[in-house]
Amino acid sequence: MNVLIINGHEYYEHSKGRLNDTMFEALTDFFQPDFSVKTSILKNGFDKEEEQNKVFWADLIIYQTPIYNYSVPALFKKYIDVTHEHGVYFTGGTKEYGIGGGLLGGKRYMFSTTWNAPRQAFHNEDQFFEGKGVDDILFHLHLSHKYAGMTRVDTFSCFDVKKHPDIEQYRKDLADHLRKHVLS
């Protein structure tokens, strides 16, 4: 299996990216002994065609990203806007909008996310997210990949990362998630 791991963190003084980098390294370490791995670190800059070629090469694309204001960092959004190109990742003119024009069929993708929100804020009508889960909030990102014909792997999330971080538990949970949802 060819695995592309993308670090979508964008630096801000209040969000320096140490946890995101740790999780990115955990992903890389998990796959590297047994699989071919390529990586991209968006804050170091990226070339559209090089990134597209990495996606063509990959069987699985994993995005490691913090969630800023209920979405991905602006740089990560730009990456998607630049690389998800008509005629490269998808075609138009299908009978039903968004269905059947994806050119990346057979490829899987996964989001690995870090949230300041606590786990209990999700899937509860009385909490901030009004009963919605992580994937409901990231729905627009899933649509971009569905449009390209890719298949979703269950999202992994770390919660409460600023007030109650538990790095070793996050790493263990990530490995368990990958064994269950990617390798099985």
Each residue's pLDDT tens digit, 70-115: 999 999 999 999 999 999 999 988 889 988 999 999 999 999 999 9
CA distances, 18 to each of 46, 79, 162 (Å): 21, 21, 11
Mean pLDDT of the chain: 95
Long-range contacts (CB closer than 8 Å, 24 or more residues apart) made by 31-35: 31/3, 31/5, 35/1, 35/2, 35/3
Res 16: pLDDT? 73
Torsion, Cα 117 119 125 129, to 10 degrees, reads 30
CB atoms within 10 A of CB 48: 12
Is the pLDDT at 15 greater than 80? The verdict is no
Torsion, Cα 39 43 49 52, to 10 degrees, reads 50
Res 1: pLDDT? 97
Question: Whole-angstrom Cα distance, residue 6 to residue 60?
Answer: 11
Res 14: pLDDT? 73
Among residues 46, 47, 50, 53, the alpha carbon closest in space to that of 7 is found at 46
